């Protein structure tokens, strides 16, 4: 869609991360705020032309976008659960991708509430639109 996608200047975003929802994000996801499992250091730097913003976090300004009857996206991983995140953290820490401080910080947020089910419901609703 023409937007810059690259490594984040802010580094990795991992584990459960709270996000701020826009008014449209609140409407689509049916809640005032949202947290999702994250596992990325690549980001979309700006919203492509014609899409509406859904969410942002301190490290990632483009956490979700929407275009009626065309796309709905989130940067995070609504499909992840704590088990998947634990495995990824252990493996990436073991290989030195995550240093001890990053690993401990991510582990401390592991059990926090995440809203993968709310995202799934919004995606299903989007897919059955007429």
Cα 109 to Cα 106: distance, rounded to the nearest angstrom: 5
Tens digits of residue pLDDT in 51-60: 999 999 999 9
- Is the confidence at residue 19, as pLDDT, over 60? yes
- As for how many domains the chain has, the answer is 1
Query: 100-108 vs 82-94: helix axis angle to the nearest 10?
Result: 170
pTM of the shown model: 0.89
Sort strands 52-57 and 42-44 into parallel, antiparallel or unpaired: unpaired
Portion of the chain with pLDDT greater than 70, in percent: 99
Domain annotation covers residue 45: yes
- In terms of residue numbers, what domain contains 23? 5-125
As a dihedral over the C-alpha atoms of residue 42, residue 45, residue 50, residue 54, rounded to 10 degrees, the angle is 70
Domain annotation covers residue 130: no
CATH (domain of 85) = 3.40.50.880
């Amino acid at each position: 869609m023409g937007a810059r996608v690259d490594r984040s200047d802010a580094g990795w975003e991992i584990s459960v991360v709270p996000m701020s929802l826009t008014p449209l994000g609140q409407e689509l996801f049916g809640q005032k705020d949202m947290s999702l499992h994250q596992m990325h250091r690549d980001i979309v730097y700006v919203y492509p032309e014609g899409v509406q913003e859904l969410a942002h976090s301190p490290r990632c300004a483009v956490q979700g976008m929407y275009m009626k009857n065309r796309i709905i996206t989130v940067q995070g991983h609504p499909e992840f659960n704590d088990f998947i995140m634990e495995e990824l953290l252990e493996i990436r820490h073991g290989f030195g991708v995550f240093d001890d401080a990053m690993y401990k910080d991510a582990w401390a947020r592991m059990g926090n509430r995440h809203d993968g089910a709310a995202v799934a419901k919004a995606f299903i609703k989007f897919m059955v639109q007429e």
